[in-house]
Amino acid sequence: MSELEQPNAVEEPASPAPSDEPLTTRTARGIRDFVDQIASSSPARLAVIVFVIVDLGFAALLWLPLSANPGQETRFVDAVFTATSAVTVTGLTTVSTAAQWSVFGQVVILIAIQVGGLGTLTLTSILALAIGRKLGLKSKLITQEALNIGRLGEVGSLLQIIVITSVSIEAALALVLSVGFLAEGEPLGTALWHGVFYAISSFNNAGFTPHTDGLVPYDHAGPTAWLILLPVCIGVIVGSLGFPVILVLRQVGFRFTRWNLNAKLTVVTTAALLLLAWVLFTAIEWANPDTLGGQSVPERIFQGFFASVMMRSGGFNLVDMTDTSQVTLLLTDAMMFAGGGSASTAGGIKVTTLAVVFLAILAEARGDQSVIAFFRTIPDSVLRIAISVIMMGASVVLLGSSIMVALTHMPLDHVLFEVISAYATCGLSTGVSAGAPDAGKYVLSVIMLIGRIGTNTVATALALRSRRRLYTYPEERPIIG
């Protein structure tokens, strides 16, 4: 009997040809292959794509009638702007958060803030760790790009503390804030909601507020106000340090000598900028009747401290920025551009970038051959990256300000303030966002995305390929200065 005639032979079913597969299966496979190809070639490019997709997803949710209060109609441009501001943890608004958005809409904004603060790409890696899967090289590269981590070995340990740290800090802040709102006379449910909202918004440096007047009604010097304003300040400061610094603090505590160079530069520079801004803001606005002039001495000192904390990335305010002097606006521009720590919820060029350039200038003035900080030599490549970040950030601000002045015809100082606030994801405003035409709102949305993702990441994502030379040219020094 031939093999084909054997009764026990079992014929294997033929696998369906690719053309016979359902359209949804082929589409899913194509999308997966496309994402894998992008992730393999450029994790930075994938970061940009994912951020844009997440942004548009939240914009679609905010555009739903369910997200608006009864009687309020949401324009698409306002939905896009608000979603972008929330995902990039900026805080700029074109409509009042309390008046425009329903409870559902505010929950969407809060989720967008949390997603943007933790980092869209890191959430995938966190979920992988939660179900017991080990991070592969590709996932580590993607997460390293999103968090700006120096070594791949730090990725797993950093991701493990992100959720624990965020939830713990936000829960503690929410508890204290809820007590403060209860002491201010709010019902229990409202106080809890406001406590949770401000806890997430402050730790993520978002600057969103569910109150129509923000935190302004709590600027009095009463004991209950301290239960609201101080926790908000603490949340902003801790969030602006960055998860790599928090990881160091978790490992070695507050023993400064055992910190790595990144932690030392971040904390020292943050403290120096905080003190400098506190002194200058208080001194400049001390006699201004529209800001601090009508306050008592303790209130002036505290509001100066509050402003110094918020002007680098927090976004909350106790005084109207349009009432401040031109010098204060310029000071705030500089502080917003500096921003917070690397891989933090803050924006700007980052304080470590500023510190490296300052140390390089100091080394050049002293005639040193290398840049040294805390008995460590900083590589020339780091200095080149720092200069690139500053120049690219300045270019974005310059181009954005030029476009916004042409579109809005508003004063340059106010437009420059708004553009820097958008790029640095700070959230302080002079009213340009709300008064800008639709085209201006879209421009500010793009600037917020660039500021959140990072100019270096955007540049890497747009680059088609990197090139390495196997040879060098002779050196020649041009005349500088």
- Percent pLDDT > 70 in the chain is 78
Q: How many residues does the chain have?
A: 481
Q: Report whether pLDDT(31) > 90.
A: no
Burial pattern 370-398, b for ≥16 Cβ within 10 A else e, equals ebebeeeebeeebbeebeebbebbeebbe
User: 419: which residues sit within 8 A by CB, 6+ positions away?
Assistant: 397, 400, 401, 404, 444, 447
| Residue-level pLDDT at 157 | 62
CA 465 vs CA 37, 41, 148, 383, 472: distances in Å: 14, 9, 20, 22, 20
| Residue-level pLDDT at 327 | 96
Instruction: Determine contact, residues 410/385, Cβ cutoff 8 Å.
Output: no
Average pLDDT of 429-448?
A: 96
Least reliable range by pLDDT among 61-75, 238-252, 264-278: 238-252
Under the banding of pLDDT at 50, 70 and 90, the label for residue 481 is confident
Higher pLDDT, 454 or 188: 188
Q: What angle do CA 160, 162, 163 make, to 5 degrees?
A: 85
Under the banding of pLDDT at 50, 70 and 90, the label for residue 382 is confident
Determine the Cα–Cα distance for residues 119 and 295; give it in Å rounded to an integer. Answer: 40
Q: Report whether pLDDT(10) > 50.
A: no
Least reliable range by pLDDT among 142-146, 160-164, 185-189, 198-202: 142-146
Least reliable range by pLDDT among 103-112, 158-167, 239-248, 298-307: 158-167
Higher pLDDT, 473 or 188: 188
Higher pLDDT, 217 or 70: 70
| Residue-level pLDDT at 140 | 65
Q: Which two tokens stand for residue 104?
A: 């559902």
| 398-425 residue pLDDT tens | 999 999 999 999 999 999 999 999 999 9
What is the widest separation between alpha-carbon atoms in the chain? Answer: 108
| 35-64 residue pLDDT tens | 556 555 556 677 778 888 999 999 999 999
Determine the Cα–Cα distance for residues 56 and 86; give it in Å rounded to an integer. Answer: 12
Indicate if the alpha-carbon torsion angle 448, 50, 110, 232 is positive or negative: negative
